[in-house]
A and B are shown apart, each in its own frame.
Chain A
């Protein structure tokens, strides 16, 4: 009989607390992703319900301000070019902090300029000026635009139809049209469509069948693609799709949805994460034998939260494997920050007017006419 699995809270907390300040030179490879490090660590701490000391929070705000590009958006580090991925991470990190100081870091007018500057005629977005296109960019753009209230229909014109082209014969989504269905890209495409209110355009039944099939019958965790290995990070990218689909089906009038469970085996996922994905010294990981890192710490914990909490504001049902102390805070399945922080950010930014972006939208529209 196995002992009840335990979340190594204290060890994870120490690992995260240290990482928020100092990282070894093995993190040189993430020197162009430092806002991500802020987000992964802050989100992990908020899931563990560990408070962020005010001084630390302020330091994060000031650092992210240095990552903000003069032309809008956030870069991977001070002095680098703006890129949609660190922009997503920075905005999320600032929303987790949730202070006036944090919200005020974001230059909304310039952020809108940046989004227009990466928008493509076919509805897609490049990740950065002169960079590559894939469905992550639509999610990053939709996420930051909706949270900071700079979203206009024009900005996302043709984006839903481009995302839809990413759904393939497998039922999941690939990075660009034609590619193999993949958990990370499927999450990004689906969540983007949810933000844009267009999730019903997907073949939801085919998507549902694809994602539930990604849960491994022996390991309990999820694989990213058919016939590949389990990985702890897909605990969020894949399992996180089920709350999104539940809501989508509900909106479509589906009467047979469960009122207690997501359509994946919640207990088995919790077992996989707690028994196979924890480093005894703190931090979480892909699978046994792999090294810990802050990305896996964030997404394993996010997946654990999804597996523990069913429902929404009105209906909430918990399934905690092991001790009550294993319980994490709930996470919002679209933004992957805590729901209170989403609400608070929306409340703050929706008091502000949507910036009118004359130059870029005009330029964009005229370029399209010429195209």
Chain B
């Protein structure tokens, strides 16, 4: 039944939308939509703080859960009318289950959790949403907020491991792994770093073309030095024979680049340039422009001292010549 026909609402004059005389992007609202929003606008204009207003916000939300003005108003009413926040939690749980990819619903839940100062339902609720879509960005964002705000780190690594067993290619879970470890033990201790490197290599052996595992391996080593981890380069070269992938080859380039930064050797540079060529021309041709750029870049940065000396040019002068000085 339309609001315009309800006698309990007869005192309120609906406010039609002011689109002007020559509207653009004019939406052909259904009768129900126009009716609800005409009354919403009326309530907003009056700043009416009543139960009937509160009930109407739920209808307006159902018609367009992305209307952040309605959500804001609902929150004002929740506080003004001292509404039962536990009941609001039940409400927002249902709405998120129906529309899990909407910004406003998750923000609203966060506000209610903050007001209640009670995160006790969150991890289980989010786990349920993730069981339906394991990569829902809003869900992971909410999960990280809850964990960080309420210090609920204890079981999260276990949760991560469970999800990686279900799908080792879920990049959101690898990100969560990094989130948990960097905020708890950190990666500084050799024991942890080694554990993580071994974990990666094991996942790679099981699923060699999983880019997430390779990215994670690089991600945890890049600031510490790829070539610093003893025996890693050798392990990767071994894997190259049976578990090769463009990701393995890219990782090799990164190892060589790191090695060059510490010890500029012609042989290392040549290997790096060779892998770049292989990637550009054969193994990762979609990224040809990038691999060729990287190749030129490495060549330019690490051009060998003995080559320059053979040409009778001081390496310092050579870069001046190249830069047109």
How many residues from A make CB contacts under 8 Å with B? 75
Decide: B24 and A180 in contact? CB cutoff 8 A.
no
* With A28-B63, A255-B323: A175-B137 Cβ-Cβ less than 8 Å: yes
Whether, in the assembled complex, B243 has its beta carbon less than 8 Å from a beta carbon of chain A, the answer is no
* With A31-B64, A32-B66, A206-B222: A179-B17 Cβ-Cβ less than 8 Å: no
CB-nearest residue of chain A to B75: A130
Which residues between 18 and 39 of chain A lie within 8 Å of chain B, taking CB atoms? 19-25, 27-34, 37-38
Decide: A81 and B135 in contact? CB cutoff 8 A.
no
Decide: A19 and B293 in contact? CB cutoff 8 A.
no
Complex alpha-carbon distance, A35 and B238, angstroms: 56
Residues from chain B with Cβ under 8 Å of A217 in the complex: 284-286
Complex alpha-carbon distance, A100 and B37, angstroms: 34
Residues from chain B with Cβ under 8 Å of A254 in the complex: 297
Question: Measured between C-beta atoms, what is the minimum distance from B220 to chain A in Å?
Answer: 7
Residues from chain B with Cβ under 8 Å of A130 in the complex: 72, 75
CB-nearest residue of chain A to B169: A227
Q: Out of A32, A33, A55, A78, which one reaches B17, CB within 8 Å?
A: A78
Whether, in the assembled complex, A256 has its beta carbon less than 8 Å from a beta carbon of chain B, the answer is yes
Complex alpha-carbon distance, A216 and B284, angstroms: 10
Residues from chain A with Cβ under 8 Å of B169 in the complex: 227
Whether, in the assembled complex, A275 has its beta carbon less than 8 Å from a beta carbon of chain B, the answer is no
Residues from chain B with Cβ under 8 Å of A220 in the complex: 286
Chain B contact residues: helix, strand, loop or mixed: helix
Whether, in the assembled complex, A77 has its beta carbon less than 8 Å from a beta carbon of chain B, the answer is yes
* Contact pattern, A 159-193, Cβ under 8 Å of B = 1, otherwise 0: 00000000011100011101111100000000000
Decide: A227 and B171 in contact? CB cutoff 8 A.
yes
Interface range, B side: 35 or more
Q: Out of A20, A169, A180, which one reaches B25, CB within 8 Å?
A: A20
Whether, in the assembled complex, B300 has its beta carbon less than 8 Å from a beta carbon of chain A, the answer is yes
Decide: B290 and A264 in contact? CB cutoff 8 A.
yes
Residues from chain B with Cβ under 8 Å of A318 in the complex: none
Which of B50-58, B154-162, B208-216, B260-268 lines the interface with chain A?
B208-216
Decide: A128 and B41 in contact? CB cutoff 8 A.
no
Question: Measured between C-beta atoms, what is the minimum distance from B306 to chain A in Å?
Answer: 22
Residues from chain B with Cβ under 8 Å of A24 in the complex: 27-28
Decide: B30 and A28 in contact? CB cutoff 8 A.
yes
CB-nearest residue of chain B to A212: B290
CB-nearest residue of chain B to A264: B289
Question: Measured between C-beta atoms, what is the minimum distance from B76 to chain A in Å?
Answer: 9
* Contact pattern, B 22-55, Cβ under 8 Å of A = 1, otherwise 0: 1111111110010001000100100000000000
Whether, in the assembled complex, B322 has its beta carbon less than 8 Å from a beta carbon of chain A, the answer is yes
* Contact pattern, A 61-82, Cβ under 8 Å of B = 1, otherwise 0: 0110010000000011111110
Decide: A23 and B27 in contact? CB cutoff 8 A.
yes
CB-nearest residue of chain B to A38: B25
Decide: A32 and B44 in contact? CB cutoff 8 A.
no
Decide: B25 and A34 in contact? CB cutoff 8 A.
yes
Decide: A60 and B287 in contact? CB cutoff 8 A.
no
Decide: A225 and B135 in contact? CB cutoff 8 A.
yes
Whether, in the assembled complex, A335 has its beta carbon less than 8 Å from a beta carbon of chain B, the answer is no
Whether, in the assembled complex, A213 has its beta carbon less than 8 Å from a beta carbon of chain B, the answer is yes
Decide: B19 and A179 in contact? CB cutoff 8 A.
no
Which 6 A/B pairs are nearest by Cβ-Cβ distance?
A169-B219, A256-B296, A180-B175, A37-B25, A226-B171, A59-B22
Instruction: Report which B residues bind A (CB closer than 8 A).
Output: 15, 17-20, 22-30, 33, 37, 41, 44, 63-69, 72, 75, 103, 106-107, 110, 135, 137, 140-141, 144, 148, 169-172, 175, 178-179, 210-212, 215-216, 219-220, 222, 250, 284-290, 293, 296-297, 300, 322-323
Q: Given A169-B175, A169-B178, 11 more contacts at CB 8 Å?
A: A25-B29, A32-B64, A32-B69, A75-B69, A78-B19, A131-B72, A169-B220, A179-B144, A182-B137, A225-B171, A227-B211
